[in-house]
Chains A and B, each alone.
Chain A
Amino acid sequence: MKEKPDVLQGTLALMVLKTLDVLGPQHGWGIARRIEQISGDLLAVNQGTLYPLLLRLEHEDSIASEWGASENNRRARFYRLTAAGRKQLQAETREWEQTAAIIARFFKLKAEDLT
């Protein structure tokens, strides 16, 4: 059982939450495809790794799930964001933006220093 690096795990969770936030309830494959589309080839993870993560998020009460009918009339399990999940997403988004901003400033500073 190979562990994924934590950052990737964390970001993947964030992507899942964001996907559900934007698109509303989705089934597993839908989420996997969405993430694939958005991140392009940069994130070549096996789709399967998504499922344990979904379970974890469900245990953490960030998402909820129930069986439903999919667009082509299959029985599929749909995941949706809960209120707590939305809060978590907002918090994590803020954190990410902060981190990204700091890193960006840091890099900028570096470049100026070198010249």
Chain B
Amino acid sequence: MKFLRRSLIRLSNLVTSRTADQRLQDEIAEHLAFQTEENLRAGMSPAEARRQATLKLGAAQAIREGHHAEHSIPFIENLFFDLRYAVRMLLKSPGFSFIAIATMALGIGATTAIYSVIDATLLHPLPYPNPSELVRVQDDLPGVGAQNVGISVPEWRDLESAGIFQSVSVSGTGADVNLTGSAQPERLSYKHATPNYFTVLGVDAQLGRTFDPNDATPGFNLEAVISDGLWRREFGADPHIVGKALRLDNDVYHVVGVMPRGFRDLGSTSEERNTEVWLGAGMAGLPFPPPRRGLRLQSRAVARLKPGLSIAAAQEHLDALVESLKKQYPEEYPSQAAWTVRLTPLSESVVGSVRQSLILLFGAVGLVLLISCVNVANLLLARASVRGRELAVRQAMGAQRTRLIRQLLTESLLLFLLGGIAGCAILFFTRKFLLQLVPESLPHMSDISINWGVLVFALAVSVAAGTIFGLAPAWLMSGVDLIGTLRQEGRGSVGSHRRSRARQILVISELALSLVLMVAAGLLLRSFWDLFKVQPGFNPDRVMAIQTWLPGPNDPSQDIYRTATQESVLLREVLRRSRILPGVEEAAIGDVDALPLGHSNPSPLPLIREGIETMDNQAPVIDSPIVSPEYFHLLGMPLLKGRLFSNQDLEDTPQVAVINQAAARTYWPNQDPLGKRVRLHLDARELLNSAKPAWTTIVGVIADARTESLANVATPQIYRSIYQHPAKSLAIFLRGQLDPSTILEQERSQVQAVDPELPVFRAEALGDVLSSSLSVRRFSMEMVAFFAATALLLAGLGIYGTISYVVNEQRREIAVRLALGAQRGNILKMVLRRGLGLAAAGAGLGVVGALIVSHLMAGLLYGVSSTDLPTFAGVTLALATVALAASYIPALRAMRLDPITTLHSE
């Protein structure tokens, strides 16, 4: 209470502070007068009486200070004083201040930029309430090497009633659907989901409602929820949209709600995140397969855990449930398949693939920040020699060391804070440009922006850096050797020795850090280059792919492209018309899975080999693109043995398939795969026309191609003919001298001449697809390379400053040597040796650090080992060259010293 009162009074005194001092002056004068009278009475002479009175009172100034300290808050007062002084000092040496602030602006700005990306991707991956409760449920069959095989409806119901989850929703993996009835048939990304989908995510509609979670319609309930974007684009933000009909693939749905702006569907691909229509379905009626335990849906299961339940605890409960289900249904879950259900945090599925790249980037930018800080610390130390005298004078006047440190710390904090503010300001004004650098394919669902969290981060970084890197110089500067400094600018004094050692340590660490960065950049560059140069196994030159989509109504009997025979009429006509387009030399058709590197989620099918027959849900799964016979030639995939498809392989002739080498190696090791027979579990639509798929014979083997990802040498593939298996999502491949700007229009008019209801969209050059598949890699490589270049530049500046300083310190020594007849060349060598010594120490440390870092980033490398000698050697050489070049200028200066003037001037 008392303390509070005193503090309050002091606070108010901060503002009104003159009168108290005046009062004290009066009182002291009074006091002296009394005491002098007393002394006079005791018989002293007037002058003596006065002197004794003053002596008895003590130092008036000290009393005033004590009185003042009692009266106000010295800490804040001093802070203001220090700040004023710091600003004055900054303005006094604008060059120094500018360099320091610019260096910090660079470091903090770059770090904040990367942090804002990380903030949007890794820290806030899911823009839903309580995101930590959301999990992905995956069924694996490790016994047969199958992962993520999908979930069947009875299993879903078991999970729902298990008491582990608030609710579990099952949804499709996202697909395309035709929106007809508008001027141009449009293709949309849609997703069918169980009606509790939005309840699980915890997001409600901005207009109308989402699905009723208790809706038990077995098939599609014909309700549609649309995205804000679609509502604005297609319906002009019509406020009466709810209840309107929506024609999708010739089925009529009714809009029940519009999702809020900024709501994104979850998923790891941009297609999936661009979902614009959600359709409610019970997953158990047509067109879905009958709800049997053995029939797994190709689907995603997302669940919300009961509040307060950790993922590990939920997994334990789930394992127990799985065990009891296995006992209950032994036929459905044979022990060799070893069915398990795995929970992973939903955020993982969004960012799992890029986490390593982003952490690497953050580490890289952190090193740049460190180097910037070290550089500024170096600058501060360099100033110590200039300000030694000032500090010595202040110490002689009785300033305490802590007081000096506090003032120097205030100065460095001000520098760092100004740097941070400048960095954020630059970032703010260049954000539009910078956002263009971030690749589209970087998964993030929250928008990358400079929000409060990011600003707080920048502020915290500035303050932390300022404190850490301001303390060391302040400590060293405040410990000056008084007498020596005052007598002669600290030449050869202990303080300066300690300072120059500190500077050397700083520079060595700077060099080491930049070497680490350069090695990381070098390794990434080599990986990228190798990937870039890799033979993909297919020839993307002059090939364009254009997509179309055949409507698939929910009632198969309404489907005019239901069978391969029906569909092949359309396809042959489309191919015929495509070939007569200007510039087209070859044309082929495949389904989306046949798009090299272009399809985001291949849906592998269980592969059942003759003689090793298992149930569908226990077979290994394999990618199975569906293509027209011309496909292999068009993409330049060579046939190794057997034959390719011909135009005579039709629906009523024996089913044939072509596999790649990887499939041959994996499934028929040391055998001839030709003539071997397999069965693929077919998609739901085909299940309706044939109860049991016929055996498919393997007739050919083609060379492996990197159609899944460039870094992935070979994924087993089994190709089937489009004339035997109807496909809905199609890609038309064209090779020739094509004009990318007009080809889409031309192809569209040809396709729609055959069927005006078909949308034709997204013309891509395969070369672009190829390079965009590398975009996240390219982004992280370019960024790390940029950071490494920055680091090298800063380190070069650092070493230049240090060597200059050393030369400056040794002026006299050099002059004496020259006066005694030393060769100028030797002087040059002597100085250069200093620089090289620093570089060698830095490189040694750096190589150790780089080995650790490169080992950690091994997962991001391709085709280059993490201890790649050429990279390490080249980078070390580059660093040594920069160090030498930076030392050369001060060395020249040392060489050209005029001994006479130097010795005289001191």
B residues less than 8 Å from A53 (CB atoms) = 70
Task: Say whether A2 contacts B35, CB under 8 Å.
Answer: no
| Residue interface bits B4-31, CB-to-A below 8 A is 1, else 0 | 0110011000000000100110111011
Interface residues of B in 23-66 (CB under 8 A from A): 23-24, 26-28, 30-31, 33-35, 37-38, 56-60, 62-63, 65-66
A-B contact count (CB 8 A): 80
Q: A55-B67, A55-B70, A61-B2 are in contact. Are A47 and B35 (CB under 8 A)?
A: yes
Task: Say whether B66 contacts A49, CB under 8 Å.
Answer: yes
Task: Say whether B30 contacts A74, CB under 8 Å.
Answer: yes
Interface check B69, CB cutoff 8 A: yes
Complex: A75 Cα to B2 Cα, angstroms:
30
Task: Say whether B5 contacts A48, CB under 8 Å.
Answer: no
CB of B19 to closest CB in A, whole Å: 12
Which of B38, B60, B66 is packed against the most chain A CB atoms within 10 Å? B66
A residues less than 8 Å from B69 (CB atoms) = 1, 52
Residue in chain A with minimal CB distance to B67: A52
Interface check B71, CB cutoff 8 A: yes
A residues less than 8 Å from B56 (CB atoms) = 46-47
Residue in chain A with minimal CB distance to B55: A46
Complex: A72 Cα to B38 Cα, angstroms:
12
Interface residues of A in 22-59 (CB under 8 A from B): 27-30, 32-33, 46-49, 51-53, 55-56, 59
Complex: A82 Cα to B353 Cα, angstroms:
74
Complex: A1 Cα to B402 Cα, angstroms:
14
CB of B578 to closest CB in A, whole Å: 93
Interface check A77, CB cutoff 8 A: yes
Task: Say whether B30 contacts A2, CB under 8 Å.
Answer: no
Complex: A75 Cα to B35 Cα, angstroms:
15
Classify the interface of chain B: helix, strand, loop or mixed.
helix
Complex: A72 Cα to B59 Cα, angstroms:
26
| Residue interface bits A68-109, CB-to-B below 8 A is 1, else 0 | 001010111100000000000000000000000000000000
Task: Say whether B70 contacts A52, CB under 8 Å.
Answer: yes
A residues less than 8 Å from B6 (CB atoms) = 56, 59-60
Task: Say whether A1 contacts B67, CB under 8 Å.
Answer: no
Q: A52-B70, A60-B6 are in contact. Are A2 and B62 (CB under 8 A)?
A: yes
Complex: A52 Cα to B59 Cα, angstroms:
13
Which of B20, B31, B71 is the one whose CB lies under 8 Å from A47?
Answer: B31
Complex: A84 Cα to B24 Cα, angstroms:
24
Which of B27, B33, B66, B67 is the one whose CB lies under 8 Å from A77?
Answer: B27
Which of B6, B34, B56 is packed against the most chain A CB atoms within 10 Å? B34
Task: Say whether A28 contacts B66, CB under 8 Å.
Answer: no
Task: Say whether A46 contacts B58, CB under 8 Å.
Answer: yes
Complex: A55 Cα to B26 Cα, angstroms:
14
A residues less than 8 Å from B65 (CB atoms) = 1
Complex: A74 Cα to B34 Cα, angstroms:
9
Which of A33, A48, A74 is the one whose CB lies under 8 Å from B58?
Answer: A48
Complex: A70 Cα to B71 Cα, angstroms:
26
| Residue interface bits B419-450, CB-to-A below 8 A is 1, else 0 | 00000000000000000000000000000000
Task: Say whether A48 contacts B62, CB under 8 Å.
Answer: yes
Complex: A59 Cα to B70 Cα, angstroms:
9
Task: Say whether B24 contacts A51, CB under 8 Å.
Answer: yes
Task: Say whether A74 contacts B33, CB under 8 Å.
Answer: yes
Task: Say whether A60 contacts B62, CB under 8 Å.
Answer: no
Task: Say whether A29 contacts B34, CB under 8 Å.
Answer: yes
CB of A21 to closest CB in B, whole Å: 19
CB of B404 to closest CB in A, whole Å: 15
Task: Say whether B57 contacts A60, CB under 8 Å.
Answer: no
Which of A32, A49, A59, A61 is the one whose CB lies under 8 Å from B31?
Answer: A32
The count of residues in chain B whose C-beta lies closer than 8 Å to any C-beta of chain A is 31
Task: Say whether A61 contacts B70, CB under 8 Å.
Answer: no
Complex: A94 Cα to B694 Cα, angstroms:
106
A: contact size bracket: 20 to 34
Residue in chain B with minimal CB distance to A62: B2
Which of A1, A48, A53, A70 is packed against the most chain B CB atoms within 10 Å? A48
Complex: A70 Cα to B66 Cα, angstroms:
26
Complex: A75 Cα to B27 Cα, angstroms:
9
Which of B28, B30, B37, B57 is the one whose CB lies under 8 Å from A75?
Answer: B30
Task: Say whether A29 contacts B63, CB under 8 Å.
Answer: no
Residue in chain B with minimal CB distance to A53: B70
Task: Say whether B67 contacts A76, CB under 8 Å.
Answer: no
Residue in chain B with minimal CB distance to A76: B30
CB of B381 to closest CB in A, whole Å: 30
A residues less than 8 Å from B9 (CB atoms) = 59
CB of B542 to closest CB in A, whole Å: 85
B residues less than 8 Å from A70 (CB atoms) = 34
Complex: A77 Cα to B34 Cα, angstroms:
13
Q: A1-B69, A56-B70, A61-B5 are in contact. Are A48 and B33 (CB under 8 A)?
A: no
CB of A80 to closest CB in B, whole Å: 15
CB of B804 to closest CB in A, whole Å: 41
A residues less than 8 Å from B70 (CB atoms) = 52-53, 55-56, 59
Complex: A18 Cα to B62 Cα, angstroms:
26
| Residue interface bits B71-87, CB-to-A below 8 A is 1, else 0 | 10000000000000000
A residues less than 8 Å from B27 (CB atoms) = 28, 51, 76-77
B residues less than 8 Å from A59 (CB atoms) = 5-6, 9-10, 70
Task: Say whether A1 contacts B62, CB under 8 Å.
Answer: yes
CB of B41 to closest CB in A, whole Å: 12
Interface residues of B in 756-800 (CB under 8 A from A): none
Task: Say whether A49 contacts B58, CB under 8 Å.
Answer: yes
Task: Say whether A55 contacts B63, CB under 8 Å.
Answer: no
Complex: A110 Cα to B353 Cα, angstroms:
78
Task: Say whether B30 contacts A49, CB under 8 Å.
Answer: no
Residue in chain A with minimal CB distance to B38: A33
Task: Say whether B30 contacts A55, CB under 8 Å.
Answer: no
Complex: A27 Cα to B32 Cα, angstroms:
12
Task: Say whether A29 contacts B30, CB under 8 Å.
Answer: yes
| Residue interface bits A1-30, CB-to-B below 8 A is 1, else 0 | 110000000000000000000000001111
A residues less than 8 Å from B5 (CB atoms) = 59-61
Complex: A95 Cα to B509 Cα, angstroms:
59
Complex: A96 Cα to B28 Cα, angstroms:
31
CB of A91 to closest CB in B, whole Å: 13
B residues less than 8 Å from A77 (CB atoms) = 23, 26-27, 30
B residues less than 8 Å from A28 (CB atoms) = 27, 30-31
Task: Say whether B57 contacts A1, CB under 8 Å.
Answer: no
Complex: A54 Cα to B522 Cα, angstroms:
71
CB of A39 to closest CB in B, whole Å: 15
| Residue interface bits B552-584, CB-to-A below 8 A is 1, else 0 | 000000000000000000000000000000000
Complex: A52 Cα to B70 Cα, angstroms:
6
CB of B402 to closest CB in A, whole Å: 13
Complex: A52 Cα to B74 Cα, angstroms:
14
A residues less than 8 Å from B57 (CB atoms) = 46-48
Complex: A76 Cα to B30 Cα, angstroms:
7
Task: Say whether A48 contacts B63, CB under 8 Å.
Answer: yes
CB of B322 to closest CB in A, whole Å: 70
Which of B59, B69, B70 is packed against the most chain A CB atoms within 10 Å? B70
Complex: A27 Cα to B26 Cα, angstroms:
12
Task: Say whether B59 contacts A48, CB under 8 Å.
Answer: yes
| Residue interface bits B200-216, CB-to-A below 8 A is 1, else 0 | 00000000000000000
Top 8 closest A-B pairs, CB basis? A46-B58, A48-B63, A48-B58, A52-B66, A29-B34, A52-B70, A52-B67, A48-B57
Further contacts, 19 of them, CB under 8 A, given A47-B35, A49-B58: A1-B66, A1-B69, A2-B62, A27-B30, A28-B27, A29-B34, A30-B34, A46-B58, A47-B57, A48-B28, A48-B57, A48-B58, A48-B63, A51-B66, A52-B69, A55-B70, A56-B70, A70-B34, A77-B23
* A-B contact list, 21 entries, CB within 8 Å: A1-B65, A29-B31, A46-B57, A46-B58, A47-B35, A47-B56, A47-B58, A48-B59, A48-B60, A48-B62, A51-B67, A52-B67, A55-B67, A59-B5, A60-B2, A72-B37, A74-B33, A74-B34, A76-B30, A77-B23, A77-B30
Could you list which residues of chain B lie within 8 angstroms of chain A, going by C-beta atoms?
A: 2, 5-6, 9-10, 20, 23-24, 26-28, 30-31, 33-35, 37-38, 56-60, 62-63, 65-67, 69-71
